[in-house]
Amino acid sequence: MLFCPRCANLLLIKSVGGSMMFTCSTCSYVYHVSDTMKNIQVGTKKIVSEVESEKETGEVTESGCCPECRHNVVRFYTKQIRSADEPETIFYTCTKCFHKWRE
């Protein structure tokens, strides 16, 4: 992509009489394209590590009840799996049968 040096708008490519040129639709700047092609890379790619938003609290609660074995001690953690304005999802694991479910 090329930008106009006069007004900073994006230059559009046009073919006029068999030759290629970049033109500015705002200020009528024209840049004639030569036969030589160049590949210019600006900047470098960065490897971005994925942010892990899962917070495994490992807290034991007496108020939970496993739907499989009816054991009342469960471990839980929360995870944001929807958009930021939605509440976090709570994942439970039974400490007896290791059944997993979520709310």
**Do 94 and 62 have their domain in common?**
yes
Q: Strands 100-102 and 55-61: what pairing? A: unpaired
Q: Give yes or no: residues 30 and 62 share one domain.
A: no
More confident residue, 86 or 45: 86
Does some domain include residue 40?
no
Quick one: 63 and 27 in the same domain? no
Alpha carbon 31 to its chain centroid, in Å, reads: 36
Known binding residue 65? Answer is no
Number of structural domains in the chain? 2
List, in sequence order, every beta strand (DSSP E) within the chain. Answer: 12-16, 19-23, 30-32, 55-61, 74-79, 89-94, 100-102
Known binding residue 94? Answer is: yes
Residue 64 pLDDT: 78
> Among the listed ranges 2-11, 22-31, 43-52, 67-76, which one has the minimum average pLDDT value?
43-52
95/59 same-domain check: yes
Higher model confidence: residue 26 or residue 34? Answer: 26
Instruction: Tell me if 73 is assigned to some domain.
Output: yes
CA distance 90 to 82: 12
Query: Has 97 been labeled as part of a binding site?
Result: yes
User: Which domain range does residue 5 map to?
Assistant: 1-35
For the stretch 30-73, pLDDT in tens is 988 876 666 777 777 777 655 544 444 556 676 678 899 988 88
User: What CATH number corresponds to the domain at position 88?
Assistant: 2.20.25.10
Q: Is the pLDDT of residue 7 over 90?
A: yes
